[in-house]
């Protein structure tokens, strides 16, 4: 059956401008990091992606190594583009990244021009696209000059393989230098993708949003739900199929008594607001207008819908923000 997107999809979503650019992103974007590899049913993946688009999610975030196996998320999303979304390509913002290990040998990771251009070419083949909207350098390279890495990002824009460029996991100081090099090259930095959540405040300590504002760039946070900690997933214990059991990014030590006490206290705040814990966490992460978007994952349509519903009650009072800070920070 031919897919027809919801006619009212753009009435359901809030859009925010990325820095001083002309590009707007949905306040919540869909990331294809964990649940879109070959180990997950393709029909379920397709259902989530199409429902996201029906709800006004126009931005789909990928990377070369997303899966598993690496590359499979791009291939699976490429199938969805070909089968359902090709007619809507100009309504979509599709991003991908390169920086982590992708293939063997000295040219398969980090930040050389050789690796970045080769990786993007591979990503485009898997996606079945002529260009992506945003191409990110996924992590700083301690050995490659920033001029080479940013020069590669500039080159892929000039070649037509990407419309905009971004960086991810860069410190504030590294971000300022990257933005300066890109500005001098004539391809401004569009956006930075850091980790950020109620429990993960490094961007605040590093003044990253101030640096991005000065550079005219936006910010899009990943892991705003702290790998599922800021959901109801662990309120009653550790499920056997949870990321604590199955992922290298979260382990049982992350759920110590102190952390769980904070999570239960945050859940109480969410309950008083008539929200789930996840919805509170997303509303909190969007409280600064300089935060362009948040990247969420989803393993089901219901989870996706619940998280996007955070936008129905996204305003936090100063008193609520202060209470959240008192709950999680050593004030």
In the predicted model, what is the mean pLDDT of the chain?
95
Q: What is the pTM of this model?
A: 0.94
Q: Quick: pLDDT tens for 278-317.
A: 999 999 999 999 999 999 999 999 999 999 999 999 999 9
* CB-facing half-sphere around the CA of 244: CA atoms within 13 A: 14
Q: What is the DSSP letter of 264?
A: H
Q: What is the mean pLDDT of residues 88-93?
A: 98
Per-residue tokens: 214: 């000065």
CB under 8 A, 24+ apart: contacts of 14-17:
14/311, 14/314, 16/218, 16/289, 16/291, 16/292, 16/293, 17/218, 17/292
Helices assigned H by DSSP within 37-137: 42-54, 72-80, 113-127
Q: How far apart are the first and last CA of the chain?
A: 56
- pLDDT value, residue 40: 95
Name residues whose C-beta falls within 8 Å of residue 113's C-beta, 6 or more positions apart in sequence: 148, 149, 151, 152, 155
State residue 243's pLDDT score.
Answer: 54
Euclidean distance between CA atoms 107 and 101, whole angstroms = 9
Task: Give the Cα separation of 293 and 27 in Å (integer).
Answer: 4
pLDDT of 249 > 80? The answer is: no
Confidence of residue 253 (pLDDT cuts 50, 70, 90): low
Q: How many CA atoms lie within 13 A of 186 on its CB side?
A: 4
* Tokens, residue 201: 């405040």
Which pLDDT score, from 0 to 100, does residue 233 have?
Answer: 82
What's phi and psi for 207, nearest 5 deg?
55, 40
Which of 6, 32, 13, 9 shows the shortest CA–CA distance to 286?
A: 13
pLDDT digits (tens, 9 = 90+) for 315-328: 999 999 999 999 99
- Taking only the tens place, the pLDDT of each residue in 117-168 is 999 999 999 999 999 999 999 999 999 999 999 999 999 999 999 999 999 9
**What's the pLDDT tens digit per position in 179-233?**
999 999 999 999 999 999 999 999 999 999 999 999 999 999 999 999 899 999 8
DSSP 8-state secondary structure symbol assigned to residue 141: -
Q: In this predicted model, what pLDDT tens digit does every residue of 165-191 receive, in sequence order?
A: 999 999 999 999 999 999 999 999 999
Q: Could you give all domains of the chain from N- to C-terminal order, each with its CATH number?
A: 14-228+278-315 (3.20.20.100)
């Amino acid at each position: 059956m031919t897919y027809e997107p919801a006619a009212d999809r753009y009435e359901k979503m809030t859009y925010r401008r990325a820095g001083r650019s002309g590009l707007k992103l949905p306040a919540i974007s869909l990331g294809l990091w964990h649940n879109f590899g070959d180990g997950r049913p393709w029909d379920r993946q397709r259902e989530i992606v199409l429902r996201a688009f029906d709800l006004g999610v126009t931005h789909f975030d990928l990377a070369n190594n997303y899966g598993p196996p690496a590359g499979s998320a791009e291939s699976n999303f490429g199938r969805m583009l070909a089968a359902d979304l090709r007619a809507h390509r100009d309504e979509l913002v599709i991003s991908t990244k390169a920086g982590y290990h992708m293939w063997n040998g000295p040219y398969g990771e980090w930040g050389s021009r050789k690796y970045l251009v080769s990786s993007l070419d591979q990503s485009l083949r898997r996606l079945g696209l002529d260009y992506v909207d945003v191409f990110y350098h996924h992590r700083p390279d301690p050995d490659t000059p920033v001029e080479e890495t940013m020069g590669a990002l500039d080159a892929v824009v000039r070649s037509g393989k990407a419309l905009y460029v971004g960086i991810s996991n860069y410190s504030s100081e590294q971000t300022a230098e990257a933005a300066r090099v890109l500005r001098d090259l004539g391809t401004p930095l569009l956006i930075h993708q850091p980790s950020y959540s109620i429990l993960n405040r490094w961007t605040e300590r590093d003044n990253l949003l101030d640096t991005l504002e000065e550079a005219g760039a936006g910010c899009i946070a990943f892991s705003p739900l702290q790998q599922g900690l800021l959901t109801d997933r662990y309120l009653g214990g550790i499920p056997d199929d949870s990321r604590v059991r199955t992922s290298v990014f979260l382990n049982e030590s992350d759920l110590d008594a102190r952390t769980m006490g904070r999570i239960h206290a945050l859940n109480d705040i969410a309950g008083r607001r008539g929200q789930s814990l996840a919805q509170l966490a997303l509303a909190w992460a969007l409280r600064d207008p300089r935060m362009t978007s948040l990247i969420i994952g989803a393993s089901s349509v219901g989870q996706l819908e619940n998280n996007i519903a955070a936008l129905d009650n996204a305003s936090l009072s100063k008193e609520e923000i202060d209470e959240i800070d008192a709950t999680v920070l050593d004030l």
